[in-house]
Structure 1
């Protein structure tokens, strides 16, 4: 048996992004591994450590036994402490140690994917001791690795792959969160619609509709009389949704029409990643 067809797109996206990460960091000299990234408190080394650590967990490796320092200002909750463990344990690793472990982890994961015969609904280990399906785990890895590839590109000044396989998975996952952002978090009025017009490497138009009971749904049909319209480029969209920038910091890249209080509330609640 081989990888289930419904999992192939996630495997392809992960492979594309992780190979790009390897190409980005392989030529870096020691000092460049300390460059700041858009992730609070994380350097280039830390981001690569995170990628390595979570893929090792996908391989079934035991988590490191390690005590975190108490002065990590960016670690404020249990989820962040969980993620930080794989990062902090590698903070003193050299550039050659980092690149060799990344390359070895990629080799092991590619072998695992080639031999993967489990069904998409098979249960696997998730963060904080939870159980999730294999499909959820692979979707998360494809999402996570593409976003961190983009973090590294920002830190290193090497833009690219904004329309790669991982970008499409990230787009779909972020769009799935929009109804809650608009209807619940931003409190859009009942029987209203909000249009998102996205341009750039990935172009799409989506309408979030709020029904009479305040429930949100999303579709690709335009609305003739939306309560608000937000127009922005794809890079700004995902960086906002992933909490990499604030709306104020990129206000010159966002065009809004309609109810200003509603658009402000939407942008204030736009970040949906942990």
Structure 2
């Protein structure tokens, strides 16, 4: 796997990516034009203002706020989705200025804790998906915040921050998941390899060779720096931009609406792209 710019490393790197992304979200909020708050976003039923309410409410949740006792609205949501809906509903009706003020306070508290000498990356935390460590929580938060920043940018027609640390982190999470995606979810057969080639602004390349082990498909990473056995495989390369790859892996666009170029087996490429979503 190769990646440029490099993804942030450790708690210090993730803290910087977190602060940078939240600042970008805040800056967007303070510069919205009339009518922007009501614009629909790629999250069904969510406006731009709802995106800000979600960012704020989820930040409050991971910092210890109890799940609000409110009606999450229509639908049959359960589990994590219902909790997210309850937190979002708890902030509906608040103005953008109120949401941004709350976000500034929450982020200041979090950054202060993250930078304290006594803070350990192994500190137990409860994240959206259950018990984790502070490092694991920040890995999740940086990805989630950046994806919602991109939701807002897309809705208001203001692209940007596609080459920052959170963008690189999101691509690395995608690349780390690629062996499982290719071998298990896409069910690419043994004897095939798939390469994902991103053209930028985050430039990266990751590949997976599928082998059969104990009767099950196993994805072996390529370009890992380890000695590789050069076995005969049929290779399919999928080339696309950072924006196309990250919107697809966030589930914001369909495979049909994802601009990409395939060199190799079109059917295998389709199966991998269909399975590429890594967010809930």
Q: What TM-score, normalized by structure 2, do the two folds share?
A: 0.87
Note the 1:209-220 alignment, pairs <5 A.
209-213=209-213, 214-220=217-223
Partners of 1:211 and 1:93 in 2: CA distance: 53
Q: Does 1:205 align with 2:209?
A: no
The DSSP-based 3-state class of the residue aligned with 1:193 is strand
Q: CA deviation at 1:257?
A: 2.2
1:46 aligned counterpart, secondary structure:
helix
Structure in which a larger fraction of residues adopt helix: 1
Shift in Å at residue 238 of structure 1? 0.8
- Determine the C-alpha separation between the residues in 2 that align with 1:66 and 1:116: 38
Distance 2:134 2:54 in 1: 20
Segment drifting more, 19-28 vs 224-233:
224-233
Counterpart-to-counterpart distance in 1, 2:117 and 2:222: 34
Q: What is the CA distance between 1:60 and its match in structure 2? A: 2.3
2:114 aligned residue: 113
Unaligned runs of at least 5 residues, structure 1: none
How far does the alpha carbon of each residue in 1:104-132 deviate from its partner, in whole angstroms, 9 at most, with x for none? 2222223232336232222111226x211
**CA shift at 1:152, angstroms?**
1.0
Of 239, 263, 266, the match for 2:272? 266
Q: Does the alignment pair 1:229 with 2:229? A: no
CA deviation profile, 1:168-227 (whole Å, cap 9, x unmatched): 111111111111111111111113211111102011122111123220022327988543
Aligned counterpart, 1:92: 93
User: For 2:144, what is the secondary structure of its paired residue?
Assistant: helix
In the alignment, structure 2 segments of 5+ residues that lack a partner are: 1-8
Q: Is the 8 A contact 2:52 2:96 kept in 1?
A: no
State the alpha-carbon separation in 2 of the partners of residues 238 and 29 from structure 1. Answer: 26
- Check whether the contact 2:113–2:119 (CA below 8 A) recurs between aligned residues: no
8 A contact 1:44–1:152 mirrored in 2: yes
Task: Determine which of 58, 62, 66 is the counterpart of 2:66.
Answer: 62
Q: 1:260 Cα shift?
A: 2.3
Q: Give matches, 1:66-85, under 5 Å.
A: 66-69=70-73, 71-72=74-75, 76-85=77-86
TM-score (norm 1): 0.88
Q: Work out the CA distance in 1 between the residues paired with 2:12 and 2:30.
A: 27
RMSD: 2.1
Tell me the number of residue pairs that the alignment of Structure 1 and Structure 2 aligns. 264
Q: Secondary structure at the match of 1:230?
A: strand
Given that residues 193 and 228 in structure 1 are in contact (C-alpha distance below 8 angstroms), is that contact kept between their aligned partners in structure 2? yes
Aligned to 2:5: none
Aligned equivalents of 1:197, 1:51: Cα separation in 2: 30
